[in-house]
Structure 1
Amino acid sequence: MTTQRRGRAIAMSDDERDAFLASERTVRVATNGTHGPHATPLWFHWDGAAMWLTSLTRAQRWKDLEADPRIGAVVDAGEAYTELRGVEIRGRVEPVGEIPRIGEPNPELEAVEQAFADKYSGGQVVRDGKHAWLRLVPEKITSWDFRKIPAS
């Protein structure tokens, strides 16, 4: 994985990044479509090594990723300039489990699905037969936390 070179003074530590990604609920993902970039919001789970996304298998995003698995993902927060912070992850996605997901046993997805359910649906794992899992393995992670900028 490529390390962050610029903005290291305001970069999040690994622990700060993991805590931030655990607390935030929405990621914006950008895919490469036939008509240019396609950006959409999704829910996600960060396991400390990969970002897990669930996507409708009939969505444009899924078609884009079948043709080109490269993706950019941004999670950010803050309103005032001195509050801005976020994480950008670039890499490639790979489908995990059956497509669409209906609940076939998959040890690789058990913890992911439960963590996702705990975050978004009160602990109830939902498999609707319309979505499938994508694992985004980071090739580069960039983070920023403007709260670290010294006051002038």
Structure 2
Amino acid sequence: MAVTQRRGRRIMMTPTELDAFLTAAHTCRVATAGPDGRPHVSALWYVWDGRALWLYSLTRSRRWADLLRDPRLAVVVDDGREYGELRGAELSGTAVPVGEAPRRGAACHELAAPERLFAAKYFGLDAMPHDGRHAWLRLAPETVVSWDFRKLPAAGGR
């Protein structure tokens, strides 16, 4: 993953911090482009495997249709309420569908780890329950920008 951040290096997350943050956070916002070029943003659950963001999307959604037509996307994961607590990351690149769509549980070696992580994170299970309505998208980010305002000096504030 290429870190393309030039500005704000003082508040960017280290690779270890970024990995821990993306692993622990629960919800991301996915931005796609509609047929007319207008942006569409939606919240989604995901897992991070240390190299890629795995998005579990409804196949009958505007997001899925947008990405089949134009696989470019941007994802934001963020946290914090007060200014000095804000932190997050923007990852962008190309979405790649992986496995069957919709997912019904057919063997797919590439999905073994993401499904194990997802089942534990969101359902407290050892194995992924398949509903025949969702499918997997993998985003191996081409660019990453991160921020952690907790690194700002307390007097610096805004």
TM bracket (short chain) = over 0.9
What TM-score results when the alignment is normalised by the length of structure 1?
Answer: 0.97
For residue 130 of structure 1, the aligned residue among 133, 137, 141 is: 133
Output aligned runs, 1:2-151, within 5 Å.
2-35=3-36, 36-123=38-125, 124-151=127-154
The SS at the match of 1:98 is coil
- Could you tell me the percent identity over the aligned residues? 56
TM-score normalised over the length of structure 2: 0.93
State the distance in 2 between where 1:5 and 1:85 align: 17
RMSD: 0.9
Moved runs in structure 1, 4+ residues, more than 2 A? none
SS in 2 for 1:129: coil
Distance 1:125 1:65 in 2: 24
Deviation of 1:5 after TM superposition, in Å, equals: 1.1
Per-residue Cα deviation, 1:72-91 (whole angstroms, up to 9, x for no partner): 10010001100000011011
CA positional deviation for 1:137: 1.3
Contact 2:3 2:145 in 1 (8 A): no
SS of residue in 2 equivalent to 1:142? strand
Secondary structure of 2:142's counterpart equals: strand
Count of aligned positions: 152
Structure 2 unaligned blocks of 5 or more: none
